[in-house]
Structure 1
Amino acid sequence: MSRPPLPPFTRDTAIQKVRMAENAWNSRDADVVTPAYTDDSQWRNRAEFLSGHTDIHAFLTRKWNKELDYRLIKELWAYSGNRIAVRYAYEWRDDSGQWFRSYGNENWEFAEDGRMAKRHASLNDLPISEEDRLFRWPQGPRPDNHPGLSELGL
């Protein structure tokens, strides 16, 4: 299964890949997101290590059951060959109504077919008030006219 754009990446194709990943994650659907990774994809997410579709699907399902009203923005940081580095922020609330903005960085490595083979994520959660939220579009992909991280000063 091919997932264009394929490596090696140009600036434009790296930006396209980042936005495609952002849109998929904003679906909050593990069935949509999981196929973008190789069958044996290796992840480090915070202190959790995952391997393969079964682990990834379970992780994403658990994540979006906990992180309610999730909205994500990713931004290209760097790229070279089959690798892309991104920074991102997402807002979510827990079941008690407390809002958070999570800030992170990811390093991605892609297989020749354009699926992600490795994902290393580091992130931190900052409690925020509902009034401090910046990501207020309807559930789903971020609208094209919504500012990105740099425009928001994040």
Structure 2
Amino acid sequence: MSGTRPPVPPFTEETARQKVQAAEDAWNTRDPHRVALAYTEDSEWRNRDVFLTGRPAIVDFLTAKWRRELGYRLRKELWAHTGDRIAVRFEYEYHDEDGRWFRAYGNENWEFDADGLMRRRFASINDLAITADERRIALP
């Protein structure tokens, strides 16, 4: 059983912003199991050139991601919404095990089921090498 993840569609400006903030907060925990609970059991993802289906694949993907992307910190911003869909722009910063910093920019398109679980996530992402002095997103 997946449960309900309010807010649920159809989204208003306010509820779309709430959904985006909830996603940002969850991803910043860097807890793959917590993050995966926001997606349907058979959720479809495209993350850069990786295609995934289902929560176990999402957990595996995020576990590997946060082993590589250390000090990860994310910001998301609502771009548009309608009915059961939300578009966001985002940026996050991280460093690798050698201490090199990166900022990743991108856009995501989300589609939700009636219970407010994300059934599709399509992310386009570009990385930029930065110095530690160029960081904009502070860790808590």
TM-score band, normalised by shorter chain? over 0.9
CA RMSD of aligned residues (A): 0.4
Q: Does 1:93 align with 2:91?
A: no
CA contact (8 A) 2:73 2:137 kept: yes
Q: TM-score scaled to structure 2, two decimals?
A: 0.98
Structure 1 position 106, deviation (Å): 0.1
User: What residue is the counterpart of 1:121 in the other structure?
Assistant: 123
TM-score scaled by structure 1? Answer: 0.89
Structure 2 unaligned blocks of 5 or more: none
Residue equivalent to 1:61: 63
Match of 1:79 in 2: 81
Task: State the alpha-carbon separation in 1 of the partners of residues 101 and 116 from structure 2.
Answer: 34
**SS state at 1:8 partner:** coil
Separation of aligned partners in 1, 2:88 and 2:137: 18
Post-superposition CA distance 1:73-116 (Å, at most 9, x none):
00000000000000000000000100000000000000000000
1:22 matches 2:24:
yes
In structure 2, C-alpha distance between the alignment counterparts of 1:96 and 1:111, rounded to whole Å = 41
Letter in 1 for 2:103: R
Q: What's the secondary structure of 2:37's corresponding residue?
A: helix
Residue type of the partner of 2:9?
P
Using the TM superposition, give the Cα deviation of residue 137 of structure 1 relative to its aligned residue in structure 2, in angstroms: 3.1
Matches of 1:57 and 1:2, distance apart in 2:
19
TM-superposition CA deviations, 1:32-82 (whole Å, max 9, x none): 100100000000000000000111000000000000000000000000000
Cα offset, 1:31, TM superposition: 1.2
1:136 aligned partner: 138
For 1:79, the aligned partner's letter is: H
CA distance in 1, matches of 2:118, 2:24: 14
1:4 aligns with 2:6: yes
Q: Residues 111-130 of structure 1: CA distance to partner in whole angstroms, max 9, x if unpaired?
A: 00000000000000000000
Unaligned runs of 5+ in 1: 139-154
Superposed CA deviations along residues 4-45 of structure 1, whole A, max 9, x for unmatched, are 000000000000000000000000000110010000000000
Q: Work out whether residues 71 and 139 of structure 2, in 8 Å CA contact, stay in contact via their aligned partners in 1.
A: no
